Amino acid sequence: MNIENVKMTQLKMPLKSKFETSFGSTTVRDFLLVSVDGDGKTGYCESVAMPDPMYNEETTETVINMLKEHLIPKLKGESINHPSEISQIYSIFRRNQMAKSSIEGAIWDLYGKQKNITLASALGGTRTSIDVGVSIGIESTIDALLKKVDDTLSEGYKKIKIKIKPGWDLEPIKAIRKQFGNDVPLMADANSAYSLADKQLLAELDQYGLMMIEQPLAHDDIVDHAELQEFMNTPICLDESIHSVEDARKAIKLGSCKIINIKIGRVGGLTNAKRIHDLCEEHHIPVWCGGMLESGIGRAHNIAIASLSNFTIPGDTSPSSRYWGKDIIHPEIVFSTPGVIEVPNASGIGVHVDLEQVENYAVRTEVVSL
Ligand code: OSB
Ligand code: MG
């Protein structure tokens, strides 16, 4: 593969409404867009790192630094035949998964465009459409939450996830069950807001028949999660704790979870995401694709990976219009039927990047030649 240069563009895209989790709230999505040029084509991928290290340790600035100082220079003089070689080349650098993923993803897209195949098929995806769930942030009142649940159910979302934190957990779940019944596919995401001292409270969730509870305990833990999983019936799903195939292998071995949320950025790219998918499939652990409030570019990558066979649970891959007044791709990501998104047919990520919109949201740009 011929890669001529890498462009980094930092964007600030205002969200339609504030998104609140146990670790903070976001009103403007500040992220880095990476593009790679080669043989007259351009591949794109966004970094899912946030400006502050609250979800994990990476930030927009650490991603820029890693790209400029290590990841881009490392590709100089390398002859790359296939994007699946990138993660191996980068394995000499510790961690920095989101930084690695941002350039690896752009190279995967470039590869698809150069070969005229879809990213989904390049990854071995088999689904032509994917089922979609929604992630609802922490709301200021139960009534506001119930209204959001009502709206998203009527839009056809196939899984409802609500964010929880101490003081906003049993009550909102009980209220949703009371109003909408026990058949609503419901789950909760704690983003590491609890500890084993909360075991009793977390086990009380069992009575509400949740599909799963996501990352109840520490962001770097798989030991306490195993003890908690032993103690409660609700399946535990790990998000923050899984950064690699090895993390997934150990979590499965310990019984720390029954489900894994795969985020391409968190695990260092598409190649690792696929490997974790394959490992989970072997062990009968279902997976689903998480979201990081991505623009349409990240959404298109997520849709491609979610086309793999073991993505059997609807992911956090909402249409563009849930988050953005105007997305940076066309066509925007939309439901084909309620709660369903078609996997695009065009090459690479399968959507055009709207360079005019990118320009509108851009706050800085830098190009590095290879
Ligand atoms: O834990 O899944 C998470 C957003 C930012 C950081 C972490 C998470 C989330 C979400 C949003 O839940 C999901 C989405 O992008 O729709
Ligand atoms: Mg999560």
Segment 83-106 mean pLDDT: 98
> pLDDT per residue over 143-190, tens digit each?
999 999 999 999 999 999 999 999 999 999 999 999 999 999 999 999
Whole-number Å distance between alpha carbons of 154 and 147: 11
Helix/strand/coil for 368: strand
Contact of 298 with 47, CB cutoff 8 Å = no
In terms of Cα–Cα distance, which of 126, 133, 130, 166 is closest to 149? 133
Mean residue pLDDT across the chain: 97
Strand partners, 342: 129
Q: Which atom of ligand 1 is nearest to the CA of 318?
A: 16
Domains plus CATH for the chain? 5-116+354-369 (3.30.390.10), 122-342 (3.20.20.120)
Amino acid identity, residue 103? I
What's the pLDDT band for 247 if we cut at 50, 70, 90? very high
Q: How many angstroms separate the alpha carbon of residue 5 from the centre of ligand 1?
A: 31
Give 71's contacts (C-beta < 8 A, 6+ positions apart): 90, 93, 96, 99, 100, 103
Residue bearing the CA closest to ligand 1, atom 5: 292
Strands 186-189 and 160-163: parallel
pTM over 0.75: yes
Ligand nearest, relative to CA of residue 212: 2
Query: Position of tokens 């790990």?
Result: 238
Is residue 117 over pLDDT 90?
Answer: yes
Whole-number Å distance between alpha carbons of 310 and 276: 10
Query: Position of tokens 């998964």?
Result: 97
What's the length of the chain?
370
What's the pLDDT band for 77 if we cut at 50, 70, 90? confident
What's the pLDDT band for 249 if we cut at 50, 70, 90? very high
Q: How many angstroms separate the alpha carbon of residue 134 from the centre of ligand 2?
A: 12
Q: Name every protein residue with a CB atom under 6 angstroms from any ligand 1 atom.
A: 21, 55, 135, 189, 191, 239, 290-293, 316, 318
Q: Which atom of ligand 1 is nearest to the CA of 317?
A: 16
Is residue 15 over pLDDT 90?
Answer: yes
In terms of Cα–Cα distance, which of 106, 85, 127, 73 is closest to 272? 85
Question: Dihedral, CA atoms, 349, 329, 59, 226, nearest 10 degrees?
Answer: -50
Q: Which atom of ligand 1 is nearest to the CA of 261?
A: 2
Active site residue ranges: 163, 263
- pLDDT at res. 150: 98
Segment 337-355 mean pLDDT: 98
Q: What percent of the chain has pLDDT over 90?
A: 99
